Structure formats: C-alpha cells, structure tokens
Amino acid sequence: MAYLELKNVSKQFGNVIAVHDFNLDIEKGSLVSFLGPSGCGKTTTLRMIAGFEQPDQGMIRLDNADITAVPPNRRDIGMVFQAYALFPNLNVGDNVAFGLEMKKLPKKEVNQRVTEVLEMVRLSHIANRYPHQLSGGQQQRIALARALAVQPRVLLLDEPLSALDAEVRVALRAEIRRIQSQLGITTVYVTHDQEEALSISDKVVVMNNGRIEQVGSPESIYRQPQTRFVATFIGTANQFIGKVHDEHSVECEHIRLQVADIRHFSKGEEVVVLVRPESVQIQFEPTQKPEWNLLEGIIETVTFHGAVTRIGMNVHDQRIVADITYSYATPISLGQRCWLTFRTESCQVMGVEK
C-alpha cells in the first residue's frame, strides 16, 4: 500500500518543462532516492512534495489524502536542505525546538523532545552553541534533528551531503540511514551522486529531463539498466552500436557480437550493446572460449584506481575500457596488442532510441 503517491505530476517554468508526467508510489517507512544530473527535475519534484512549488497538473497524496493544495506549513513534512539552513539567530537547542514551539507544545515536552533528538544525532553536548560555531557536518546533523523533532510524516532531504567533505559525507550517510531505519520514517532523498543513491536507498528513481528513466532497487538499477541513459549515468558502460543479425547476435561495423537471447527485437533493428568494464577481461593470445566474445585491440592507457586498474583500448577506432585486478606478474605496456573478451550474458542489449 503506497503511503506517498505522485500521480501525473507536471511542472513547467516558463518554457522549460521541469517535471513531466511523474508517477510514483512510495511505501511507508522506505527510503527512496531521486537520482539524476542537475536540472533533471529531482529537486523540483521534492519541492512539490514539500509544498514549495505547486504542480501545474497532477496530484500528490499522502496517507490517502490529497495534499496538493495544502500549504507547506500544514503538510507535516520535514525538510533538510543542502545549505543546512539553520536559523543563525537561534542556538542549536532553539533551532531544534522551533517546530515544536510552532505546534504550541508545553515547554516541558519541548525540552524533553529536544534532548531526545539531539541524543539521536549524538550532539547533546552542543545544545547551547550557535550555528556558526559548528562544522558543516554538525550543522547538517542539527538540521536533521530539527526536521525530525516534530515527528513529520515524511522526511525530505535535498542533496544534504553535497556541501560536505568526502569523509564526513560517507559517515553522515550511514548515520542518516541508521536513524531513518530506526525511526521507520518515510524518506525521499535527492542526490546527483550515484554512489550515495545506490548505497543508502531501498529504491532508486533515476531521472533525466524531467522524466523517470527507471525505478528499482539499487542492484537492479546497476545490473539491469533499462535505458542507455541509466546504463551510462550509473557507472561506466562500453557501447557497441549495430543491427540485430539473429536471435543471438548483433552485427556491428567490424565485428559480430554474440549476445544472450534477443528474440524480442526484430531482425535488422538498430540496437546498442552495453558491456560493463568489470565484465571485460584481457588476454594476450587469441583463445576463443564458447559463450564469450573475443575482440582484438591495442592498449592505449593504463590508469591505476586502487582496487582495480582501468585499461583503455582501441578496438577498431572505438575506445573500450576494462577494469581488471592488476597483477605485477603480467606486465602491460602501452601500444601492446591484446584480446579482450566478455561473456555473452554480460551484454545488455537495448534499442538505440532509448
């Protein structure tokens, strides 16, 4: 049963379509990420859920009630912004208490609740400090505490970690997830960082140009991208463009690729074959294995990435990359001839227009 529903939501700014016909159901207690490049409409969608923007069309429902026309201060939705947005004239305690005071709760209850949420974000000791005396990470944890203090029905996070250092980002990400599952609060998380989205979410919504490209679990988004955009935006993918030859192969300009079953494409249809770099292996003799494709190339670049080494190759004037676990025993030199090989089942085939 969906708790938060967006139905046919559209929003236009002047001539720019920010969000087009957006449909999504969000389960109670789940964490859903909106992932996409800047300008893809993810923040606009979030702001429509918060009530800061009015959709031109469509409906937003929360807990079976239409909230499309409810003003933001009566929606009971918590929001955390990228730039922290703590009130600079109030100290940490008063910031957290703000929403509770708006609800006109008795003083005692306010204090108790403030102590509770500050403990939850592990910052009880700085209740008397002012925002400018805190680090970015601390400010964002206070902003989270402030949003959670009023026990909102939904928590919205708009790129909450983008302004922070890499190290703080990873730590706070885990913290957000811990608190979210502890409270079981329905959460929408906007980010342009794919790693962040994949690691934190129950469900990822990939957006581009105001439209949903794909909705799914982090793993399915990575392993079974439904569109070319998703495949290239999430991680890296080698692309081969060609025409369907038969139900198991695609004819490209210089090569014919063996792929898994593509019966649902008609013969001659233009398609693109996507292969993840980690699926590609390199060998130095042309040994053909069954169920594997074999391509000849020249090594152009070798880039060390820590756990893996990325090898860039020229294959018929097309650049192909492979991520391999590099061992010093096999020396690789630039300009060397090699054979790259990958399983037919690691080839993802989709229509070109997608």
List of residues contacting another protein (CB under 8 A): 50-53, 71-79, 81, 83, 85-90, 98-99, 102-103, 130-132, 143, 146-147, 150, 152
Q: How far is the CB of 158 from another protein (least distance, A)?
A: 9
Q: How far is the CB of 133 from another protein (least distance, A)?
A: 8
Residue type, 129: R
Nearer to another protein, 72 or 312 (CB): 72
Q: How far is the CB of 157 from another protein (least distance, A)?
A: 12
CA distance 252 to 101: 66
Nearer to another protein, 75 or 276 (CB): 75
317 Ramachandran zone, left/alpha/beta (phi>0; psi -120 to 50): left
Q: How far is the CB of 85 from another protein (least distance, A)?
A: 4
Cα angle 20, 220, 204 (rounded to 5 degrees) comes to 40
- Farthest CA pair distance, the chain: 78
Give the contacts of 281 (CB within 8 A, at least 6 positions apart).
Answer: 322, 324, 340, 341, 342
Q: What SS3 class is residue 120?
A: helix
| Encoded tokens for 69 | 């026309």
Number of H helices, E strands in the chain: 8, 20
- Strand-pairing partners, residue 46, are none
Give the contacts of 157 (CB within 8 A, at least 6 positions apart).
Answer: 79, 80, 176, 187, 188, 189, 190
Nearer to another protein, 43 or 249 (CB): 43
Nearer to another protein, 75 or 228 (CB): 75
Q: How far is the CB of 30 from another protein (least distance, A)?
A: 20
Nearer to another protein, 130 or 222 (CB): 130
Nearer to another protein, 77 or 340 (CB): 77
Q: How far is the CB of 304 from another protein (least distance, A)?
A: 32
Residue written as token pair 């925002």: 131
Would the CA dihedral through 182, 187, 190, 196 be positive or negative? Answer: positive
Nearer to another protein, 96 or 231 (CB): 96
Nearest to 61 by CA among 70, 53, 52: 70
| Encoded tokens for 258 | 């063996």
CA distance 24 to 5: 6
Q: How far is the CB of 87 from another protein (least distance, A)?
A: 5
Q: How far is the CB of 82 from another protein (least distance, A)?
A: 8
Nearer to another protein, 70 or 302 (CB): 70
